[in-house]
Structure 1
Amino acid sequence: MGLDSIELLFFVEDTFSIRFNASEAEQINTVQDFSNSVYDKIVTKPNKECVSHKIFKRFKESIQRLKLSDIVVMPETKLSELFPNENLHRNWKLLETDIGLQLPELSSLDFSPKLSSHVSVLGVKIKKRSKPVLNGNVQQLIDWVISLNYNKLINIKEITSKYEVERIICGIIYDRMGVRINEIELEHSITYDLGID
């Protein structure tokens, strides 16, 4: 494990008030491995309203109240259908204010989908552009919002499901390692896919 991975491990341990021994830490390769390892060490308290359902309902009501779209909002609805490019920045900020939760930061590809996926200087690709948020669907947005706002939405001392642990781990990776929330997937390798050494 590199320095960043160790820092991430320590922060997760402190967040959940747990400890991993060396052999357990060596088994953590992906975001899902991290979530599973934490989940195995904590006591859950089931039978509480699902945080995902609660935020979906809040999101759907906000879309309707603000009249941002006439489309029926379902978990599989593409974000690009709900948020056309016209007034995108304004509508995104309106939604963020109305639901009272941080939304993922939009990328340049959200505003200009025809841009190249890489930034080039003198014809040489020097940097890959951030993945567009609007390529996702409503369920993914709900997952990202829960991760970005896990401190507000999830009581760490009363975890009710593995889903909550997964969202907290993604939120910690975003907070501590600076990886964009929409670029963190459970199957991603912490080292190779997310670039955390």
Structure 2
Amino acid sequence: MGLDSVELLMDIEDYFEITISDSEAEKIYTVQQMVDTVANLLNIKDETADLRDVILERVNYALIKLEITSDPINPSDFISSYLSPENKESWDAFVSELQIKVPKPETIKENRTKFLNKLIKAVHWIPLYDWRLITVKQFIDAICVMRSMQ
């Protein structure tokens, strides 16, 4: 486990006031495995499928109402096909129509050099995301996580 992973693990333990044993930590390779481990330690049952369905329905409704798309979107679609956090007007209209808090990612900008993107990440401690690679399902999962932390 690298230093970044150890620091992330410690931050998660602090935030949720839990302790993840070394043997459990060694088995964590993906975000889903981390979520499952934390949920297990907090005795949280998987009831998020209903929430995901509701949020997907609301996202579909908002995108269709705003005429961003005329067809329902699929969880496997890339969210960048419909939205960009760089387009402030469209993003704000979507968030307003959705009427729930939506995490706005700090994205990797194509017009920046790789060095500048890394420098921004290092200075601000903000993870940079390649928005083009985020699926609708991942986006909805991020909304679900944000809602559960409120």
Q: TM-score, normalised by structure 2?
A: 0.66
Deviations 1:49-107 (A, max 9, x none): 6111111011101111111223541112222221369x822111111111122223243
Secondary structure of 1:93's aligned partner:
helix
| Whole-angstrom CA distance in 2 between matches of 1:64 and 1:133 | 21
Structure 1 residue 26: deviation in Å?
Answer: 1.9
Q: Which has the larger radius of gyration?
A: 1
Alignment of 1:19-38 (within 5 A): 20=19, 24-27=20-23, 28-29=25-26, 30=28, 31-38=31-38
| Whole-angstrom CA distance in 2 between matches of 1:4 and 1:84 | 27
Flag the 1:147–1:12 CA change in 2: closer, same or farther, 3 A: same
| Whole-angstrom CA distance in 2 between matches of 1:105 and 1:46 | 25
- Report the number of matched residues: 137
Structure 1 residue 6: deviation in Å?
Answer: 4.3
| Whole-angstrom CA distance in 1 between matches of 2:114 and 2:131 | 14
Secondary structure of 1:69's aligned partner:
coil
| Whole-angstrom CA distance in 2 between matches of 1:107 and 1:11 | 22
1:67 matched to 2:67? The reply is yes
Deviations 1:103-160 (A, max 9, x none): 2324353xx535433318xxxx7456822334312111101111122235xxxxxxxx
User: Counterpart of 2:114?
Assistant: 117
Secondary structure of 2:116's aligned partner:
strand
Assess if the C-alpha contact under 8 Å between 2:39 and 2:45 holds in 1: no
Q: What is the letter of the counterpart of residue 100 of structure 2?
A: L
Identical-residue share of aligned pairs (%): 13
User: Counterpart of 1:103?
Assistant: 102
Alignment of 1:6-21 (within 5 A): 6=10, 8-13=12-17, 20=19
Assess if the C-alpha contact under 8 Å between 1:106 and 1:132 holds in 2: no
RMSD of Structure 2 on Structure 1 (CA): 3.6
| Whole-angstrom CA distance in 1 between matches of 2:84 and 2:14 | 41
Higher RCO (C-alpha under 8 Å, 6+ residues apart): 1
Which residues of structure 2 form unaligned runs of 5+?
A: 122-126
Assess if the C-alpha contact under 8 Å between 1:62 and 1:99 holds in 2: yes
